[in-house]
Amino acid sequence: MNLNLPVSRIIEVISPIQIVGECHGWVRFISVDTRKLHDTTMGCFVALQGSFRHGIQFLNEAYDKGARCFISDVPPVEFYEDACYLMVEDALWALQEIARQHRLSFNYPVVAITGSQGKTTVKEWLYELLQTENNVVRSPKSYNSQLGVALSLLEMHAGADVALIEAGISKPNEMDELIRMISPTHAILTNIGSAHLENFESENQLKTEKIKILKAAQFAYSAVDLFDVDFEYEALMPQNAHPEIASLKFKDPSSFHCAAIAINFIKSVQWVTQPLSEAVSKLNRLALRMETFNGKNNSIVINDAYNLDTDALRFSLEYMQTFGRTRSHCVYIGLDSESYANKGKIESLVLEYSPDHMFVDLVSNLPVSIPENAVVLIKGTRKSGMEKFAARLREKQHQTKLEINFTALRHNLVYFKSLLAPGVKMLAMVKSQSYGTGLEKMAAFLEGQGIDYLGVAYTNEGVELRKYGIKTPILVMNADQDSYADCIAYQLEPSIYSFKQLDLFIRVVIESDVEQAAIHVKLDTGMRRLGFEPSQLKTILEICQAQPEVYIKGVYSHLAASGGTEHKDFTESQVERFTACVAMIEKELPHPILKHLVNTDGVIQYPNAHFNMVRIGIGMFGLADKRTEGSLKSVVTWKSVVSQIKEIQVGESVGYNRSFIASRNQTIAIVPVGYGDGFPRSLSNGKGCVYIQNHPCPTVGMVCMDMLMIDVTGLEVEEGDPVILFENNVQLSAFAAQATTIPYEILTSISQRIHRTYISE
């Protein structure tokens, strides 16, 4: 983003209801995320209302990073004399209006791309085909929301020939604002599917909303047959694909569909004069998912190795800023012979972000060693093969890995937040390595999303998070007396569930150098597990009021059966007991307290029991009450590869103890995952299965510690082919059922030797 926009022009565009400070000078870029700000005095920070918190909380951080112009719909606590504050009624609207006016300052074509699926692929492939003869601006990644479109339009500049802007909707009437911002000259509809259909009255309403943008454009294009519309459009039907699509190396229907749209559109607008065959043959599957993993020397590696255009590089550098400066920042950029001529330009851009180490060179010249405790960004052209370089930096080289999709996780958090009344906080449980997905990385992500509280089982988990730099309040549910000193030292809040515990904790606090420590009182309202009896509450309050060294920050309990309706009466009796206890506590204490009772299923089933905080656990990963089907996304994928293929003859045995004897000739594949990795041994001999090419492949013989054998008879399988253990919650639930257990146990049993990879789409 390089706006060079006078502050006076911003004022003219958004008409603030109040202006505070000296509002002169220029704005070079606009940011809504302080983590992506780098030192400059020409930045404008827009404080937006997020799902969990308001951007006004980060105004001071934005100032410290150089921003001197601020737009907000909430007044700041303090004003800096050398800064400009523009107060508006709606900060998002103000940002959208700036983006709209910025877009209108350019006369080149603006292509809006919408559809239920394929938007990003069509956009990226259009970029690849157009950029040979055009300077193209495009939406970063999958920026297609109300906010994403505004930020995308702000990337437009005078040196471009065409802009490609994604437009996505999830609710009725959202397209109107996108049209207002984009003012498209051309619009493409890729398809109409079921995505977000749950928010519309019917498929027809969804279709009507999507085609609004076609009607608004000067030139409309659709890969969907549209009947009874009152505007003209050109059909981009895949079945009528231009012959040059024969050069496409992918034969799957989805790739063919997207490529046909891109090719047919370019042939129609004639923005490329040369034949497309060669460019089509070079189209690659999109690496739209930036992955993060643990690297050697205690590093964090950000692998975004497939694209090196200026916008993509800047996006990746901004993402690296989100990790803060507690670790050194190291950038590795691999060039090929063609891109080497731009080495100086690339280095200049990287230096804007002040990395501690920078290596920009041919891949063969890049050092493989990396600094200790660094955040390492890997970038490169497709030809450079930097993905192989990135693989060499992995801490663990196990071919089996657990993939955690942060984009899907963010979606689920927003969904649960939408079920809560304003002001109700959310505590995310990250116990047992955050259900096996990785304690530190998950906690850092949740903190970045603005989660109010984190919950752990044991004190050492909380200590680990504090050492990692997590500042969010942490509740320790099973703190023992030997760990109380650590609770105090690391500002962890223990659950107190017995008088002995309470007495010991008070003693430790008195012996420490802190004046007061927070506790959460655990009540047993019917679970018959840990917790004080409601009848003991009066004594608890008397002790705490007599001992100023501790103060009750929260009170909570557990529901025994919040899922389903079978035990609804019992659950409601628990809610009544807890409500009575809360009333007694609030009557006696002079300060407000946190009150939390419901878990994931309780959030959905018992909205009257949310109190002022709820606890979310397995629901973050998309596993919840059946009523959430269609609203939640699967987060975790467990995958491996085929190590070897063998032909088994009739009568031959497979595996230990000859527990499997072939009754027919068949083909088996060996997969490098076993019970030592968390694949249950109980799933031996066909009781469990994995998936290759979406085909279920049953186990053959006994599951070994480090590998298993599967039946692939009739499938075209090669060594190195991907194997899916589960990639969605339907498969995960089936996997757990086959093992006669629950998804919780499956996830938490996956060994730490399995590599965790975190992706963002």
Beta bridge partners of residue 695, listed in sequence order: 692
Residue 325's closest CA among 298, 356, 280?
A: 356
- 576: phi then psi, degrees, rounded to nearest 5: -65, -45
Q: Is 51 helix (H, G, I), strand (E, B) or coil?
A: coil
Task: Report the top-level CATH class of 290-393.
Answer: alpha beta
Strands 517-522 and 550-556: parallel
Task: Determine the length of the chain.
Answer: 761
Quick: pLDDT tens for 327-369. Answer: 899 999 999 888 899 999 999 999 988 899 999 999 889 988 8
Q: Are 441 and 465 contacting, i.e. CB atoms less than 8 angstroms apart?
A: no
Q: Is 541 helix (H, G, I), strand (E, B) or coil?
A: helix
Residues of the chain with CATH 2.40.37.10: 636-760
- 343: phi then psi, degrees, rounded to nearest 5: -55, -45
What is the C-alpha separation between 85 and 14, in angstroms, rounded? 12
Residue 732's closest CA among 402, 292, 400, 439?
A: 402
Q: Are 618 and 743 contacting, i.e. CB atoms less than 8 angstroms apart?
A: yes
Residues of the chain with CATH 3.40.1390.10: 5-95
- Residue 467 CB neighbours (<10 A): 10
- 295: phi then psi, degrees, rounded to nearest 5: -110, 180
Two tokens, residue 247: 């050069």
Those residues with Cβ within 8 angstroms of residue 614's Cβ, 6 or more apart along the chain or in another chain: 416, 420, 424, 425, 426, 427, 596, 598, 599, 602, 603
- 723: phi then psi, degrees, rounded to nearest 5: -125, 125
Inform me whether the pLDDT recorded for 27 exceeds 60.
yes
Inform me whether the pLDDT recorded for 542 exceeds 70.
yes
Phi-psi region at 106: left, alpha or beta (left = phi > 0; alpha = psi -120 to 50): beta
Confidence of residue 499 (pLDDT cuts 50, 70, 90): very high
Averaged over 437-457, what is the pLDDT?
A: 94
106-281 under CATH 3.40.190.10, yes or no: no
- 221: phi then psi, degrees, rounded to nearest 5: -135, 140
Q: Are 456 and 462 contacting, i.e. CB atoms less than 8 angstroms apart?
A: yes
Inform me whether the pLDDT recorded for 155 exceeds 90.
yes
Quick: pLDDT tens for 288-301. Answer: 567 888 888 989 99
Strand (E) or helix (H) holding 53: none
Two tokens, residue 351: 């230096």
Q: What is the mean pLDDT of the chain?
A: 91
Residues of the chain with CATH 3.20.20.10: 403-628
Let me know if 262 is exposed, middle or buried by CB neighbors in 10 A (0-12, 13-18, 19+): buried
Q: Are 37 and 95 contacting, i.e. CB atoms less than 8 angstroms apart?
A: no
Inform me whether the pLDDT recorded for 302 exceeds 80.
yes
Assign 3-state DSSP to the chain and report helix, strand, coil percentages, each to 5: 35, 20, 40
- Residue 284 CB neighbours (<10 A): 13
Confidence of residue 287 (pLDDT cuts 50, 70, 90): low
Q: Where are the beta strands (DSSP E) in 128-182?
A: 136-138, 162-166
Residue 526's closest CA among 555, 562, 495, 494?
A: 562
Question: CA separation (Å) from 402 to 180, 287, 391, 691, 756?
Answer: 42, 18, 15, 15, 5
- Residue 553 CB neighbours (<10 A): 17
Listing DSSP states for 735-751 in one string gives HHHHTTS-HHHHHHTS-
- 474: phi then psi, degrees, rounded to nearest 5: -125, 125
What is the C-alpha separation between 384 and 359, in angstroms, rounded? 14
Taking each continuous run of H as one helix and of E as one strand, the counts in the chain are 24, 37
What is the C-alpha separation between 615 and 472, in angstroms, rounded? 15
Inform me whether the pLDDT recorded for 2 exceeds 90.
no
Strand (E) or helix (H) holding 14: helix 7-14
Q: Are 538 and 499 contacting, i.e. CB atoms less than 8 angstroms apart?
A: no
The CATH architecture one would assign to domain 5-95 is 3-Layer(aba) Sandwich (3.40)
Tell the CATH topology of 403-628: TIM Barrel (3.20.20)
Two tokens, residue 248: 């496409």
Quick: pLDDT tens for 574-618. Answer: 999 999 999 999 999 999 999 999 999 999 999 999 999 999 999
More confident residue, 431 or 117: 431
Inform me whether the pLDDT recorded for 22 exceeds 80.
yes
Q: Is 615 helix (H, G, I), strand (E, B) or coil?
A: strand
Would you give the DSSP letter of residue 421?
P
Alpha-carbon radius of gyration of the chain: 28
Phi-psi region at 250: left, alpha or beta (left = phi > 0; alpha = psi -120 to 50): beta
Strands 26-27 and 357-362: unpaired
Q: Are 454 and 428 contacting, i.e. CB atoms less than 8 angstroms apart?
A: yes
Question: CA separation (Å) from 447 to 171, 347, 641?
Answer: 27, 32, 33
636-760 under CATH 3.40.47.10, yes or no: no
Quick: pLDDT tens for 85-107. Answer: 999 999 999 999 999 999 999 99
- 693: phi then psi, degrees, rounded to nearest 5: 55, 40
Residues of the chain with CATH 3.40.1190.10: 106-281
Q: Are 639 and 607 contacting, i.e. CB atoms less than 8 angstroms apart?
A: no
H helices of 35-86, where? 59-64
What is the C-alpha separation between 310 and 315, in angstroms, rounded? 9
More confident residue, 286 or 301: 301
Averaged over 425-449, what is the pLDDT?
A: 94
Quick: pLDDT tens for 161-202. Answer: 999 999 999 889 999 999 999 999 999 999 887 766 778 888
Inform me whether the pLDDT recorded for 53 exceeds 90.
no
What is the C-alpha separation between 357 and 385, in angstroms, rounded? 21
